[in-house]
């Protein structure tokens, strides 16, 4: 992750405005905001598990638990792991439970651990939007 991506996230979410008096002196250079790593879950999980877009679609259903256990920095080589913990029947679809970890290679503790939920529902139409995401600049090592 680049410093420019971190700066953009902090500008968009108001971190720089909220903490502008203390950022210069106290905010560690290159640190990735915890909610920035959390915001990447949708992209990262769907890079590994993607329901057939012709027959179903997925909604973010929330998180049961999130912990930011160690700082992550733009200079770190980051990794992402994901485990499907459950697929529970929910209405006409399934509630998927994903256990997700983002960490820095060589760091004792991961940067973020989250139990994230996604609701997979059947499509009622075959029309859908499809975007080409092959040129995404975010790079993670999948372990």
CATH of residue 45: 3.10.129.10
Residue 41 lies in a domain: yes
Residues 102/72, Cβ–Cβ less than 8 Å: yes
Distances (CA, A) of 70 to 31, 63, 83, 107: 11, 19, 20, 9
Question: pLDDT tens across 9-40, in order?
Answer: 888 887 766 666 655 566 677 888 889 999 98
Residue 113 lies in a domain: yes
Residue 106 lies in a domain: yes
* pLDDT category of residue 1 using cuts at 50, 70 and 90: confident
Which range of residues forms the domain containing residue 46? Answer: 31-124+134-142
In whole angstroms, give the CA distance from residue 59 to residue 121: 8
Q: pTM of the full predicted structure?
A: 0.76
Residue 78 lies in a domain: yes
pLDDT at position 140: 47
pLDDT at position 48: 87
Mean pLDDT of 106-134: 81
Query: How many domains does the chain divide into?
Result: 1
pLDDT at position 65: 93
Residue 139, both tokens? 């790079």
> Among 98, 103, 85, which Cα is nearest to 37's?
103
Residue 20 lies in a domain: no
> What value, to the nearest 5°, has the Cα angle with vertex 36 and ends 2 and 116?
135
Residue 24 lies in a domain: no
Residue 23 lies in a domain: no
Mean pLDDT of 54-63: 88
Residue 81 has pLDDT above 50, yes or no: yes
In whole angstroms, give the CA distance from residue 133 to residue 66: 27
Mean pLDDT is lowest, of 10-24, 35-49, 112-126, 129-143, for 129-143
pLDDT at position 124: 79
> Among 102, 112, 31, 97, which Cα is nearest to 66's?
112
Residue 9 lies in a domain: no
């Amino acid at each position: 992750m680049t410093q420019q991506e971190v700066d953009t996230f902090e500008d968009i979410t108001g971190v720089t405005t909220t903490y502008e008096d203390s950022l210069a002196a106290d905010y560690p250079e290159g640190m990735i905001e915890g909610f920035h790593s959390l915001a990447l879950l949708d992209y990262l999980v769907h890079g590994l598990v993607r329901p057939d877009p012709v027959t179903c679609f997925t909604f973010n259903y929330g998180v049961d638990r999130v912990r930011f256990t160690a700082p992550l920095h733009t200079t770190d080589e980051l990794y992402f792991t994901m485990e499907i913990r459950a697929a529970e029947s929910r209405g006409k679809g399934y509630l998927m439970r994903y256990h997700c970890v983002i960490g820095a290679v060589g760091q004792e503790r991961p940067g973020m651990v989250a139990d994230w939920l996604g609701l997979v529902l059947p499509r009622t139409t075959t029309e859908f939007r499809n975007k080409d995401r092959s040129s995404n600049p975010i790079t993670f090592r999948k372990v």
